[in-house]
Amino acid sequence: MSLRDFLDAHTAGGGEARTGYLAQHPLFEQIPRLRRDFRVPELCTAGGGSGTVTPLHFDSYDNVVGYKRVVLFPAEQTKWLYPKEAGGGGVDAQGNVSAVDAPDLERFPDYARAAGLEAVLGPGDGLYIPAGCWHHVRSLTAAFSVSFWF
CB 7: neighbour CB atoms within 10 A? 16
Cα gap 94→66, rounded to integer Å: 30
The pLDDT tens digits for 54-96 are 555 555 555 557 888 888 999 899 899 888 887 766 666 677 8
In what order do the strands lie in the sheet containing 68-73?
Answer: 117-121, 68-73, 134-139
pTM over 0.85: no
Low-confidence ranges of the chain (pLDDT < 70): 1, 3, 7, 10-25, 40-64, 88-93, 144-150
The rounded distance, in Å, linking the Cα atoms of 140 and 18 is: 14
